[in-house]
Structure 1
C-alpha cells in the first residue's frame, strides 16, 4: 500500500478546506443577492401576463442594482446598518450668534448637524427635514423655515421673524437620507409603479368587454403590434394598453386605477429590512424643540412688496400664518373675507381651472363662496368634469376639467372624456377677462421626473401660443402641498420629498415665464396648524383662494 506522506495529507486537507470555504462563500453570495432582491423578484412574478396584473418592460424596468455596493450605510450582506441612519433624537440644533432679543423683520438662522444613532456626525446630506417657527403667546402664528442642504451632514435653516412675541422652532425629520435614497432609486429605476386597466367594448352590441392592463410608459417587452398606443406627441403624453384579443384599439371605453394591486406592487419593491426606514420610529420624527426666542417690534417699517404676478423674486419666506390668516411676504396679497370682495374681483370674468383634485377642491370652494349656480353633472363627469358654474348677476363663469392621464382614481372614467391641458389651452380663445389656473402634481409624484417635465414643457408652449393669440390672458400655476404619510405605500409612492421635487421642476420651467404667475402654497401647508392632507382644511383653502384672487386682482 502506497503511503501518503504527511505534507501531502496536509495539502489535501487544505485543498478540501479551500473548496469548502469557496462553496460556502458562493452560497452566501447567492443568498445575499436573493435576500436583497427577493421582493423585486416577487414583484416581477406578480406582473407576468398569466396573472394579468400588470405589464412591465424587462428592458425598460431593470431590477435596481445592489444598493449596498454604492452606499456606506449598507453592511457587507446588503442589510442596512441602522446605527448609521440619521437619528432625530441625536441630531443637534444650533443657533449661531444667538441673541437674547431679536427685532421683528430679522432673519433667524439655525444650523442642523445630522448625527446617527450613536451620536456620530454624518458626512453626507440628503436628509429631508421640515422646520417651522411657532408662536408661544396667545396668538396663533407660524411660518416655515427655508432649509439649505450643504451636502456634508449640515443644514442651514432661515426664518423670517414676521411678528413680535415669544416664538419657538419646531423641527421634524420627515425622512432620513437613507430613506430618501430608497425613494429616489425606486422612482428613477421603475417608471411604471401603478396598475391601471382599460376596458374595450363595442357599445353597439351586448358582447362582454375585455379589460387589459395599461401603463404610462411603454412596455418595451412587447412588440408594438401587441400594444394600443394612445400617446399624444403634441402634448408629450404617453399612454399604452395591451391590445385586446377581440376588439380593436378604437373600442376603448373606460379606464380605472387599481389601488390594491398598486399598493402590493409598491410595497413588494421594498425589502423587509428597508421597510424599517419608513416605520413610525423613523418617519416624521419630531426633534428637540428650541429654547424660547423673544422678538420685539422696534417700529421699523417693512419694505413695500411687489404686486402679485409673474416673475416674482424668491424671498427668504413665502409668508406666515397669524390668527388663521395667511400674510404673504412675496407679494402684496389681500384677504378676500367677504363674498362681495370675491364677486367684485371676479366680475365679468371667465375662470378656467385645469388640474387634479386639489384644483377641483378650489373650484367647488369658489363656487360655494359666490353661491354660483352649477350645471347638472352626469355620472361620466362626476370625478373629472367638465364642471361649470355661473353667477348671472356678476357675469362670472367658472369651469373645471381634470388633466389627462395618469388619473389615479378607482372608479371607471370615460376615456373619451379625458382631455389634456395643452389641448384645452389650444382651444381657448383667451382675453383680458379670461383667467387660466393650472394645478398638476398629485397624480404625477409616482411618474418619472422626465415625464412630468415633458408634460409641463408642452403646456408651456401651449401657453405661449395662447398669449400670442390673446396677450392679456392671465395664467397662474400652483405648486404642490404637503400630505399625510400614514402608510408605507404613501411614504414611498407619494412622499412629500417627491412632491417638492415637482415644485423644483415647476419653478424651473415657469419661473422666468413672463406670462405665467407661480402661486406657491407649499410653505402655507407646511406650517399650517392642521394635520397634513392632500386636500387641506377649508380655512387653509380659503387663504389659498385669497392669494389666488390677489394674483387675479393685484390692484
Structure 2
C-alpha cells in the first residue's frame, strides 16, 4: 500500500461509530523495506522486477502491464505527434476562423448545429494536420442555459463542432483553442518522460524527532529507500530512508513543483495569452424557435450502466437535463433526506468530491459532521444522521495526492483496497473520483490505478451485486501557465481513458467534465450550482 490507512467496514451506522471510537486505526499489510539498488526509470518495468524480487506472480503483473500498454497505445495513437520548429508555425486562434454550416436557415429546438473550424498559423498559412485541443459550448446567459459540443477532427487542419439545440432563444457560440497541436504534442511527450514534475516531502516521526526526506514514484538517489508497496496491484511509492529510523515512522506528506520536461522554445507556446483563446466567428449567435414542434419522446429513467452519448445533457435555468434519460419529473434534491435514508455512502477521491459531503451537510438539516481526529482540509470527513441512519464518509485517495500543505498518510489508501474492505449491500453506495492529482505524472500511473479500481469493483459486485458504484469524472479547472501539471488537456485525456476502461461495467457516471465545460467553470472547485447538479444527477439514479 501507498499509505497507512484508517480501515474497518461498517454493517450499520451504530457499529460504524463504535468501531471508529473504540478500535481507532487498523492497518493494511504494507510491504516496507530498505532498498539500496537503483530504481529503473520505467514504472512498469521497475514494478515487474521488484515483484520478481519478492517472489510474486510475475506473469500476472506482466499481463496487467500488457493491458496498461494497450490502453496507452490506443490513446497515444489518437494524439497528433508534430515537431515544434517555430512559434509562428503553430496554430493561431485569431488567424483561424469558424463558420456555421447552412447559416440563415430556421433553427428549431431539438435541431443539430454544426460549426466548421479551419485552422491557420501565425503566418496566415492553412494548417495541414489536426490535433489541436479545442473546447466548445453554446449558451444563453439570461436563460441559465449552456451545453458543450462534440469536436470532430479531420486531421487536416479542419474540424466540425456538433451541438444539439435544446432550448429556445438567442444562443451564443464559443469555440476556444486551448492548446495548438504543437503544444499538445509537446505536453504529451513531456508528461510521459518521467516523474520529476512534482516531488514529495515525507515527514518521519521517531522518538519525538521529526525528519523530512524526499519521496516519490521514482527516486534516483543512491541512498537507502523505504518502499511502500501493494504487491498485488503493482503500486509502489518510495521515500529516502532516514538513518536509524524505521520506515513505519512516516506520518505525513506534502508536495512541490520541481521540474520541467518542456524545452525553452516549447514554453513560448504556453504563455497565458496563448492559452484558451477564442476563435473568431462571423456570426457568433443564432435564434432558436420552438417551430411548434410537439416533442413527445419519453426518455427512460436514468439507470446505472446506461451508455452516454456526447453531449449527454445541457443546462437550462441552471438545472442539468439529460439528453438520454429522464433525470426525474421532480428535482430529487427536494427529497434528499428520504432518498438517502438508511444509506452508507463512501466518497473516495479528491477535494472535488469532498465538495459533495460539504454540500450534503449544508443542505440536510439533521446531517451533522462527526469530529474525527486530525486537522486540515485533507483529513477524513464523516457525516451522520442518526435518526435516518445515514452515513456519509469522504476520504482522500492514495498517492499521488498533490498538496503544498502537509497531510497525514495514516488515513489514506488506494481506492481498490478501500473497496475490498467493504462487504457491500443494497444500501451501500460508492462514489469515486480520480484525475486531478494524476495530471502531472506519466499516464501509465493513472491507467494502472483505474484498472486496479475496476478489478476491485468487479470483486465487490461478486460479493454484493446490488451495491451501487458511481464514477464522478474529473472536472475542468482554471487556465494556468503551469500546463505540465494541471492543463485541462491532461484532464481530457484522462476523461477519455476512464470512459473507455469502464464502458462495459455496470457503474453510474456523473459527467463533471461535460458539465463544467458547458458551464464554463474554469475552477478546480466548481461553484455550488455545478455541485448541486452533480448531486441531483446522482440522486436521480437512486430515488
Q: TM-score, normalised by structure 2?
A: 0.81
TM-superposed deviation, 1:305: 2.5
Give the number of the structure with larger relative contact order, counting CA–CA contacts within 8 Å between residues 6 or more apart. Answer: 2
Q: Distance in 1 between matches of 2:84 and 2:190?
A: 18
Specify the alignment match of 2:289 in structure 1.
296
Q: Which among 303, 322, 328 is matched to residue 309 of structure 1?
A: 303
Q: Distance in 2 between matches of 1:316 and 1:416?
A: 40
Specify the alignment match of 2:166 in structure 1.
162
Specify the alignment match of 1:176 in structure 2.
180
Q: Distance in 2 between matches of 1:291 and 1:443?
A: 36
Asked if the contact 1:122–1:153 (Cα under 8 Å) also holds between the matched residues in 2, the reply is yes
Specify the alignment match of 1:82 in structure 2.
87
TM-superposed deviation, 1:366: 1.2
Evaluate the alpha carbon distance shift between residue 479 and residue 200 of structure 1 in structure 2; reply closer, same or farther with a 3 A threshold: same
1:170-194 deviation per Cα after TM superposition (whole angstroms, max 9, x unaligned): 1111111111112111101123321
TM-superposed deviation, 1:441: 1.1
Number of equivalenced pairs: 467
Specify the alignment match of 1:44 in structure 2.
none
Q: Distance in 1 between matches of 2:41 and 2:394?
A: 39
Matches within 5 A, 1:144-155: 144-155=148-159
Specify the alignment match of 2:210 in structure 1.
209
TM-superposed deviation, 1:547: 0.8
Matches within 5 A, 1:411-426: 411-426=405-420
Is 1:551 the counterpart of 2:541 in the alignment? yes
Matches within 5 A, 1:329-408: 329-334=323-328, 340-371=334-365, 372-380=367-375, 382-408=376-402
Q: Higher mean Cα deviation, 491-500 or 382-391? A: 382-391
Matches within 5 A, 1:188-199: 188-199=192-203
Q: Distance in 2 between matches of 1:438 and 1:59?
A: 30
Asked if the contact 1:336–1:549 (Cα under 8 Å) also holds between the matched residues in 2, the reply is no
Specify the alignment match of 1:98 in structure 2.
103
Asked if the contact 2:197–2:484 (Cα under 8 Å) also holds between the matched residues in 1, the reply is no
Secondary structure at 2:155's aligned position in 1?
A: coil
Secondary structure at 1:417's aligned position in 2?
A: coil
Specify the alignment match of 2:64 in structure 1.
none
Q: Distance in 2 between matches of 1:391 and 1:501?
A: 39
1:445-464 deviation per Cα after TM superposition (whole angstroms, max 9, x unaligned): 11221111111111111111
TM-superposed deviation, 1:477: 0.6
Is 1:493 the counterpart of 2:478 in the alignment? no
Secondary structure at 1:379's aligned position in 2?
A: coil
Q: Distance in 1 between matches of 2:187 and 2:300?
A: 38
Secondary structure at 1:265's aligned position in 2?
A: coil
Matches within 5 A, 1:193-342: 193-202=197-206, 205-206=207-208, 208-216=209-217, 218-219=218-219, 221-222=220-221, 226-257=224-255, 259=256, 262=257, 264-266=258-260, 269-289=261-281, 290-297=283-290, 298-334=292-328, 340-342=334-336
TM-superposed deviation, 1:436: 0.7
TM-superposed deviation, 1:151: 1.5
Asked if the contact 1:339–1:369 (Cα under 8 Å) also holds between the matched residues in 2, the reply is no
**Larger-Rg structure:** 1
Evaluate the alpha carbon distance shift between residue 524 and residue 59 of structure 1 in structure 2; reply closer, same or farther with a 3 A threshold: closer
Q: Distance in 1 between matches of 2:498 and 2:329?
A: 26
Q: TM-score, normalised by structure 1?
A: 0.79
What do you get for the CA RMSD once the two structures are aligned?
2.3
Gaps of 5+ in 2: 1-37, 44-80
Gaps of 5+ in 1: 1-55, 62-69, 75-80
